[in-house]
Amino acid sequence: MEKSRRVLQQYPYGQNDRIAPDSFRYKRSSSCIHYETFKKTLPFMVEHLSPEEKENIEIVFSRLVNNPKGLYALIDYLNFKGDGTSEKETYNGQGWGLLQVLQGISPYSRDIVASFVDRAKILLTQRVRNSPPDRNEQKWLKGWLNRVDTYLE
């Protein structure tokens, strides 16, 4: 945890960039996710990882949660492509869920949200390349990438 504190102190956010997560509620069409429920996702996602990998993901997750754009990215991507713990969220053994996005981000990234977007785009493109040809997932890729770009707005 000491590493977590050092990294988070290194990348502080101004008071205006913070949100009150206890009162946060995300609504999108018929889905509604409460922040407390969302927070419980992380321990489940990382339970099988090494302590070092777990700590790195916790740092990245914490930095994203404490950034309004990052929190939106986390919640939307979780709803959009899943948590990444299911075999159904893989092609050829390679996943595209939230866990895989977080695993590919350095805890020391200067722009954590841009790093999230870059990693998500790589994984979604990889998903299309690995998908069975009869699924024709290429037709969805442009929309998926556009959706991920909204995390930067």
Establish if 14 belongs to a structural domain: no
**13 is a domain residue:** no
pLDDT digits (tens, 9 = 90+) for 47-91: 999 999 999 999 999 999 999 999 999 999 998 999 999 998 899
Q: Which of 131, 6, 120 is nearest to 73 (CA)?
A: 120
Kindly state whether residue 15 falls inside one of the protein's structural domains.
no
pLDDT, position 39:
73
| pLDDT value at residue 111 | 97
Question: Angle between the 51-65 and 112-130 helix axes, to the nearest 10 degrees?
Answer: 120
Instruction: Output the pTM of the full model.
Output: 0.78
Domain housing 101:
2-8+25-152
pLDDT level of residue 37 (50, 70, 90 thresholds):
low
Q: What is the pLDDT of residues 84-126, one digit of tens each?
A: 999 988 999 999 999 999 999 999 999 999 999 999 999 999 9
Q: Is residue 38 part of a domain?
A: yes
- E-strand ranges in 11-133 read 25-28, 31-34, 90-91, 94-95
Q: What is the mean pLDDT of residues 9-29?
A: 45
CA distance 102 to 113: 11
Which is it for the CA torsion 116, 118, 121, 122, positive or negative?
negative
User: Would 145 be classed as within a structural domain?
Assistant: yes
For the chain, the domain total comes to 1
pLDDT of residue 2: 54
Q: What is the pLDDT of residue 29?
A: 45
Query: What confidence category does residue 22 fall into, taking pLDDT thresholds of 50, 70 and 90?
Result: very low
| Cα separations in angstroms, 28 against 35, 73, 131, 143 | 14, 13, 27, 17
Query: Does any domain span residue 18?
Result: no
